[in-house]
Structure 1
Amino acid sequence: MNRRPIVSAFYFPNWHVDPRNEKYHGTGWTEWRVAQYATPRFEGHEQPKVPLWGYEDEADPAVMEKKIAAAADHGVDNFTFDFYFFEDGPYRERCLNEGFLKAANRDRMTFSIMWANHDHIYSHPGSYWKPAEPVWRGDVSVETFRKCTDYCIEHYFPQPNYLRINGALHFAIYRPWNIIKEMGGIEIFQRELAAFRARVEAAGLGRLWLDLPADGFAAWEHIEDAGAPLQMLGADSSFAYSWGYRDTFPAEEYQPWAEKNIRNQARFMEKLSVPYNPVAAPGWDSSPRTVQSDMFDNIGYPFGPVVIGSSPARFEAALRRISELMERENAGPMVNLSCWNEWTEGAYLEPDTKSGFGYLEAIRNVFGVTPR
């Protein structure tokens, strides 16, 4: 590997108390309760997953300091926070505002924003009857887009450790194709993105680095069709949030799952007309987000195939394959890890009682550590 990429982990912020969550789940609720009450859903299924550090409050700066230290010590350079902003304002933001940004060692890492612009679904847990019932809509109007981006310009982009790529502020959007539909066309979204860039520059913050996923603009089998809209919107790079291709129910082995998805990452790099930031996943298991007393059938998220047989050694092997992809001409500047802490989707790097720091050590073994 001639150049070390930015190693970034997506961060899912639902492990602190939030007023919206309390409205639907009761006072003091966090998603740790979902993780704690997970049960095995088939023979050989390993649940619950238990955090080595316990069920801590991520909005506590002292807790976040522990996360930052572990990440930085093991080669994770950046947290890309899943950021939720609806027409009436932000959601789940205390983790970032009160935890990360007030941590004494925050300068050991950078951070950036990925706007998770999707409906909030009742999957904590989802029932067999209504497995992914929308609780409130995530529609993005022109007004909501401007409010969200202005919020980021005011609160996050000026932070001294906000991630810059080639001097430009990294900003990702989870489902830009949703915004196109909700705004009424790609030309309107294109105009709003241009105005967003202009507001960033007018604030004296320089240029914006726009990171947009490709897989919603085109089927994975024809990902090259995503090139035109990505270029039209001025994307600086492209990404995918995680791995797909979970074909065997109730369980699929990690190694063949990784093989399929690493080949897919290589194809994205080959076919896309903008640089692509590959992603690596330590696992997948959304079964904790199902009502545990319901039957476990393949009826759609959060029900569905579970990845089994993951280990730090197998994850490290996958990371080595991903690192080789970074030699390709169309490789972007980042390697994304999915995720730092999505415990109830079986996608986490934080230490647990089974593997300890093994998954973090795998990252350090492959990418080393960036001195700070």
Structure 2
Amino acid sequence: MSFKEKSPLVVALYLPQYYETEYNNKWWEKGYTEWVACKRAKPLYPGHNQPRVPLNNNYYDLSVKENIRWQMNLAKEYGIDGFAIYQYYSCGSKLLDVPVEMIRDDPSLDLPFYLYWANESWRKTWFGQDNTVVWEQKYGTEKDWRIQFDYCLEYFKDKRYIKIDGKPVYAIYNAWAIPEQEKFLSLWDEWAKEAGLPGIYFVKTIGRHDADTKGNFSATVTREPNYTFAHDEKLLEKVKRVTSSRVIDFVNRKFLLPRGKGIVMTKASYDALWDRILKRENQDSSTFLGCFCDWDNSPRKSYNSIIMQGASAQKFNAYFKRLLRKAQNIGSPMIVINAWNEWAEGAYLEPDEKNGYAFLEAIKEAKESRGIEK
């Protein structure tokens, strides 16, 4: 699938952590998937929207192909143009690869997609555990780079794979972490041309370790609301937040948590975050515009979490319309929504028991009201 001028693609981040694996059984517990954290979530204060429950208790298993088909059909129906599927790859070692490989091998699963390399080590930091590395992100030598490229090439050549100017899109989460980054990108681009492609459309995720420039990448993207929350604070806001967080952490650890109580680390304004996303400047046709539908990572972090206040499908619809206009005005190729199914972070478009299909309907209505084809 290729980008058409003035019609930005609407893509949702896609998490494949919804099926049982031997390594999750070993690292966490028998039968662990993302749903385990979701089902254990508890409201931390009056009115807190937890636990989040999928509509009709649809706790799906992504090792079952028909569940992926259901997701894709639902996405197409409501105006999602594709999935950006997280890829976990380290020198030949792969995690959570079953869903994307099923997609690769079955052309009837026909929603467009691209790979988003989540290149970071896995640690036991969830649920108050230690910082032990259970799976290390490695990069290896040029030989390892070539093996990784050849694995990805199977996807790049697929007609469903999202391309810009004929180049397959390949997003990287932690670009700063890649040793000899410039050489890595250059070789992949060279190998792509040797394979009959015009090159690779590399997308750099702007994070706390990166400069806000694309460098040797084709485009940049922000993963929201994380980027805006961490980077768009004014100095006094940051000082207030950091000071407050330290006090809350001390009070929680010393007095409240031992009694089964606590104070939420951060309650953030949905409206304020979106306002900053929409007002951000210095964005152009090499910028993928990042956004989010909601956020609440308390199923993973408990009281040490960030919880959005004031989120609603109606607000999301209004803000998303403005973002679509902005994308068209600057010639952005793509809007990237966090997320299709990050249930344990409260960032999901899939229908739930509280809102039904409201967030999906918000996207469909926004696109149709702007005259943008699905």
Structures share a fold, TM > 0.5?
yes
**1-side partners of 2:95 and 2:300: how far apart?**
19
Aligned-partner SS, 1:328 = helix
Are positions 1:204 and 2:204 aligned together? Answer: no
Change (3 A) 1:102 1:357: farther
Partner of residue 314, structure 1: 315
Aligned-partner SS, 1:327 = helix
Contact 2:8 2:328 in 1 (8 A): no
What are the ranges of 5 or more consecutive residues in structure 1 without an aligned counterpart?
219-224, 297-302
Deviations 1:71-90 (A, max 9, x none): 00111011010100023411
Are positions 1:267 and 2:259 aligned together? Answer: no
- Superposed, which structure 2 residues align to 1:115-134 within 5 Å? 115-123=117-125, 125-127=126-128, 130=130, 133-134=132-133
Contact 2:166 2:197 in 1 (8 A): no
Partner of residue 359, structure 1: 359
Partner of residue 222, structure 2: 240
The offset of 1:167, in angstroms, is 1.4
Aligned-partner SS, 2:55 = coil
Partner of residue 78, structure 2: 74
Contact 1:38 1:48 in 2 (8 A): yes
Partner of residue 49, structure 1: 52
Deviations 1:200-222 (A, max 9, x none): 2222234211111233454xxxx
Contact 1:284 1:345 in 2 (8 A): yes
Sequence identity percentage: 25
Contact 1:6 1:334 in 2 (8 A): yes
- Superposed, which structure 2 residues align to 1:157-236 within 5 Å? 157-179=156-178, 183=179, 188-216=180-208, 218=210, 225-227=211-213, 230-231=214-215, 233=216, 235-236=217-218
Partner of residue 222, structure 1: none
Aligned-partner SS, 2:328 = coil
Contact 1:17 1:28 in 2 (8 A): yes
The offset of 1:21, in angstroms, is 1.0
Contact 2:223 2:290 in 1 (8 A): yes
Aligned-residue CA RMSD in angstroms? 2.3
The offset of 1:226, in angstroms, is 3.2
The offset of 1:104, in angstroms, is 6.7
Partner of residue 276, structure 1: 287
Partner of residue 253, structure 1: 269
TM-score (norm 1): 0.82
What are the ranges of 5 or more consecutive residues in structure 2 without an aligned counterpart?
230-236, 242-264
**1-side partners of 2:107 and 2:184: how far apart?**
36
Deviations 1:45-85 (A, max 9, x none): 11000011511112211111111111001110110101000
Counting matched residue pairs gives: 332
- Superposed, which structure 2 residues align to 1:9-48 within 5 Å? 9-48=12-51
The offset of 1:139, in angstroms, is 3.3
Aligned-partner SS, 1:262 = helix
Contact 1:9 1:339 in 2 (8 A): yes
In the alignment, residue 22 of structure 2 is paired with which amino acid? P
- Superposed, which structure 2 residues align to 1:121-160 within 5 Å? 121-123=123-125, 125-127=126-128, 130=130, 133-143=132-142, 144-153=144-153, 155-160=154-159
**2-side partners of 1:21 and 1:38: how far apart?**
19
Change (3 A) 1:198 1:89: same
In the alignment, residue 27 of structure 2 is paired with which amino acid? Y
In the alignment, residue 197 of structure 1 is paired with which amino acid? D
TM-score (norm 2): 0.82
**2-side partners of 1:22 and 1:29: how far apart?**
6
**2-side partners of 1:160 and 1:287: how far apart?**
39
Contact 2:367 2:373 in 1 (8 A): no
The offset of 1:136, in angstroms, is 2.5
Aligned-partner SS, 1:156 = helix
Aligned-partner SS, 1:278 = strand
Contact 1:39 1:47 in 2 (8 A): yes
**2-side partners of 1:280 and 1:343: how far apart?**
16
Partner of residue 111, structure 1: 113
